[in-house]
Amino acid sequence: MTALCASLLLPHAAWAQGPGTDIHLVSIHLSGDQVTFDRALNITNRDGYDNQPSFLPDGNSLLYSSNRGSQTDIYRYFIATQITERVTNTAPESEYSPAIMPGTNMFSVVRVEADSTQRLWQFDLNGANPRVVLTGIKPVGYHAWGDANTVALFILGDSATPATLQLADVRSGRAQIVAYNIGRSLHRVPGRAAISFTHRVPEYLVKQLDLVSGAVSPLMQLLSGNEYYAWLPDGSALMGLDSKLFRRVPTSDSGWQQVADLSDVGISGITRLAVSPAGDRLAIVAARPARQGR
């Protein structure tokens, strides 16, 4: 690796029918304005769809969605042992977008039910006791937790209505629309009571929803060609384009700065990113080269 200083959502079936993707794990070293990456490891390394990584709070394992056959389930990868365990096995239902629920040993998912309804569900960490979190709110595409009772939802649109950002209270089961025509990347902003989301205007602009005041404010423009980004604990952001990683401090005028080129370790077609809570590891979703597994 070369290190440098520093809407229309498709139906759920497209999650698992697109090009093959792998999840790569790299170590992050952050020192002031400098960030470097090393020890790249392909933790899935198989043909098919492996996507949507999400670290557990201790940073020692991560959950991700994986399509194997006719359904998509949640798997867990343990970093120290390099062991992968299947967590859910729920045919004919499928699960996507796993995320630990704040202050619990449970995780939430977007579940595609037998009749194709998409709602937010929760499971125990071992995959037991599935139950609906928000009964009447659908179709859910993606989500991010603000706190134990508040969750931001990407609600799918259709040919006449754009996708919306809705903020839901799990105690009341009610949600309010915050924004229209949003993208698929929702995150809790580190160090703030806020959720970030992308707004298509027409390029992707990252905005912040203050969970206390309800105010929405712009943060930064994404580079053209990718709608995904992730936050580092210091408040800077990462995003990828093809094989390159870029970093930006939203409060700085310096814009996006290239910090790594991962082409020499075979990583390209970067989309989603996930940063561990301590900021020492980065999970990278990237296209799987056609030559592999053939």
Domain contains 131: yes
Domain contains 228: yes
Pairwise CA distance, residues 134 & 101, whole Å: 14
What's residue 173's pLDDT? 98
What's residue 10's pLDDT? 40
Domain contains 292: no
Domain contains 233: yes
pLDDT at 240 over 60: yes
The two tokens of residue 185 are 């990347």
Average pLDDT, stretch 256-265?
A: 96
pLDDT at 23 over 70: yes
DSSP 20-46: -EEEEEEEEEEETTEEEEEEEEESS-S
Per-residue CA distances from 289 to 45, 90, 256 (Å) = 10, 30, 27
What's residue 290's pLDDT? 74
Average pLDDT, the chain: 92
The two tokens of residue 170 are 């799990």
Band of pLDDT at residue 1, cut at 50, 70 and 90: low
Domain contains 99: yes
Domain contains 199: yes
pLDDT at 7 over 80: no
Q: Residues with Cβ < 8 Å from 180, sequence gap 6 or more?
A: 162, 163, 164, 165
Pairwise CA distance, residues 11 & 94, whole Å: 13
- What helix, strand, coil percent values describe the chain, rounded to 5? 5, 50, 50
pLDDT tens for each residue of 113-170: 999 999 999 999 999 999 999 999 999 999 999 999 999 999 999 888 999 999 999 9
Band of pLDDT at residue 33, cut at 50, 70 and 90: confident
Domain contains 64: yes
Pairwise CA distance, residues 28 & 25, whole Å: 10
* H/E element, 119: strand 118-124
CATH, residue 131: 2.120.10.30
Instruction: Name residue 83's beta-bridge partners.
Output: 78
What's residue 251's pLDDT? 87
What's residue 18's pLDDT? 57
pLDDT at 6 over 90: no
% of the chain beyond a pLDDT of 90: 85
Q: What angle do CA 154, 55, 208 make, to 5 degrees?
A: 40
pLDDT at 294 over 70: no
Higher model confidence: residue 121 or residue 1?
A: 121
Burial class of residue 25, CB neighbours in 10 A (0-12, 13-18, 19+): buried
pLDDT at 292 over 60: no
pLDDT tens for each residue of 184-197: 999 999 999 999 99
Question: Domain limits at 82?
Answer: 2-287
Domains: count for the chain:
1
What's residue 233's pLDDT? 96
pLDDT at 293 over 60: no
Higher model confidence: residue 203 or residue 6?
A: 203
Average pLDDT, stretch 79-95?
A: 97
Which phi and psi angles does 34 have, rounded to 5°?
Answer: -105, 140
For 119-174, where are the alpha helices, taking DSSP H only?
A: none
Domain contains 216: yes
Average pLDDT, stretch 208-229?
A: 97
% of the chain beyond a pLDDT of 70: 92
